[in-house]
Amino acid sequence: MKKIILTILSVCFFTGFLLAQDKHNITVKANKPGAEIQPTMWGIFFEDINMAADGGIYAELVKNRSFEFSKPMDGWTVQPVGDRPYQPFQKQFGEGTVVIVNREDKNAVNPRFIRITTNNATKDSLGLTNEGFRGMGIKKDMRYDFSLMYRNKTPGLKMHVELVDSTGTVLGSTMFTPREADGNWHKQAETFTANATEAKAKLTIWFEGSGIIDLDMISLFPEDTWKNRPGGLRADLVQMLADLKPGFVRFPGGCIVEGRELATRYQWKKTIGPVEDRQLIINRWNTEFASRSTPDYFQTFGLGFFEYFRLAEDIGAEPLPILNCGMACQFNTAEVATLDQIDPYLQDALDLVEFANGDVNTQWGAVRAKLGHPEPFNLKMMGVGNENWGPQYIDRFKIFQKGLKEKYPQLKIIASTSAEYQGERFNYLNTEFKTLQPELADEHYYNSPSWFLQNTARYDNYDRSGPAIFAGEYAAHSSHTGNTENKNSLRTAVSEAAFMTGLERNADIVHMASYAPLLARVDAWQWKPDLIWFDNLNVYATPDYYVQKLFSNNKGTNVLP
């Protein structure tokens, strides 16, 4: 009853707000409960945009830890800098002291590493500095876990690991002496505690002694990750998501699913297992908007599909993966896999269900168990494509629907309705869906606050013969996308709230909704507005966030006429 009352209150509040001073009587028939509001009604949309994953919720502090960015030394500087008549790169990098080696023939997924050659180096004579993601956020008295992969043949080389602030003051340090000298790759970790808080720290590794050492996967994580998991997620950001009590987590996007071209589409199988085996690719948002170019934006997949499933489980939400169906982004290359090449794409989808739900004796269930989660993740739904449209989408959707339903009849399938919520593309797909009857159709609306206010009744008289609605991406934009003036505000938040009353009122057909995008770094965004903003040390909720929280935390059980 408490929840029903809260629902009534929120309807009354927003209706009252919108009608300003007009006097209206609202009659609520509390004894005539209508449609059930789905437990999944209010969820979250996660996409690695605005540095949401690398440089964001994935707590790794070292940028370009495996030297796989297009420019292998991106984020790294050879030390000392500035006391020589030439740039250190000219002298040291590529000339024998510091060399990037490519072993693609032996390791296609993590081909590069760095080779350091020293001859009687003293501490401070040769070092490697990592700048982090626009600095590293370091907290006083926090433990930091430094680790790397190394290979050397002769013992004797030591490393001094230091966190420093902008003035060079050391905030914490440790010694790193390789334990093995057998010419094989080894992983080793050391921990140390920071003595001060600093938003823009850097990490330097100084080399001492003589020898040749190969390094890869140079990494630094804080101790206070979510649930204190080593190599985990930023706890403050996950807490913000948990506080929303979302009904589902949609991942990994968004356009990330599609890729600018098929080669850079999201492939979940490449995102699980040891992090050093997860092949890095460029993030599509690196180059998407010329005015917001982010050359250091890549996907390491440290936050991969296993972590996404576990995140959803941790915060009590249903997992909702969206998979590529053989189509790259139609706003970019629009590449498609031909229909006779679709099998591997469908197989990825089938295998994902087995990965999430399969018994530990199945091939992919065993992989999940090996990763530490023998219990199933209880995957119940899957999206086929993101913002895809046209007959080419329908052709591929049919193959996915048939293949998935044959093997997993209970799985709910979510279809794309293009990037539009009306017009030719949208209407064509909706007509097809009347026949194909996917369980849900994914509608997206990015529009002005006025549009949201004027469309609160969008679903009141909606055709109820088709799929249920997943309002999979929406946000009120105060200006056009990419414009710096496009901001979160009380106005955008209240207009979304008004619209959301219309979604909830039509809970018989609107089963799910998620604001988008979710996260944005204040100094590395490509798209705004966004629900939650953060920097290296802080997290900031927007008015739009509080609207989501208000609705989600006070979700009613039934709609009342």
Q: Which residues bind ligand AHR (CB under 6 A)?
A: 47, 49, 253-255, 386-387, 419, 473, 516-517, 527
**Within 10 A of 353 (CB to CB), how many other CB atoms are there?**
18
Nearer to ligand AHR, 365 or 472 (CB): 472
Q: Residue 234 is which amino acid? A: R
Nearest-approach distance from CB 541 to ligand AHR, in angstroms: 18
Asked if 194 and 221 count as a contact pair (C-beta separation under 8 A), the reply is no
Nearest-approach distance from CB 380 to ligand AHR, in angstroms: 22
Burial class (CB in 10 A: 0-12, 13-18, 19+), 91: middle
Catalytic member of 288, 387, 473, 504: 387
Q: What is the DSSP letter of 37?
A: P
Distances in Å between the Cα of 336 and the Cα atoms of 230, 253, 270, 298, 415 are: 39, 19, 20, 23, 17
Nearest-approach distance from CB 207 to ligand AHR, in angstroms: 42
Tokens of 464: 């109820």
**Angle, CA of 439, 443 and 449, to the nearest 5°:** 145
Nearer to ligand AHR, 14 or 446 (CB): 446
Is the previous residue joined to 80 through a cis bond, with omega within 30 degrees of 0?
yes
Is 387 designated active site?
Answer: yes
Q: Residue 135 and residue 432: Cα distance in Å, rounded?
A: 50
Nearest-approach distance from CB 298 to ligand AHR, in angstroms: 17
Nearer to ligand AHR, 147 or 267 (CB): 267
Nearer to ligand AHR, 477 or 555 (CB): 477
Q: Residue 530 and residue 527: Cα distance in Å, rounded?
A: 7
Nearer to ligand AHR, 337 or 419 (CB): 419
From first CA to last CA, the distance across the chain in angstroms is 15
Nearest-approach distance from CB 501 to ligand AHR, in angstroms: 23
Residue 104 contacts by C-beta under 8 Å, 6 or more apart in sequence? Answer: 111
Nearer to ligand AHR, 40 or 386 (CB): 386
Nearest-approach distance from CB 74 to ligand AHR, in angstroms: 24
Residue 129 contacts by C-beta under 8 Å, 6 or more apart in sequence? Answer: 76, 77, 78, 79, 202, 203, 204, 205
Distances in Å between the Cα of 475 and the Cα atoms of 129, 356, 444 are: 40, 30, 9
Residue nearest ligand AHR by beta-carbon distance? 254
Supply the residues annotated as catalytic.
Answer: 387
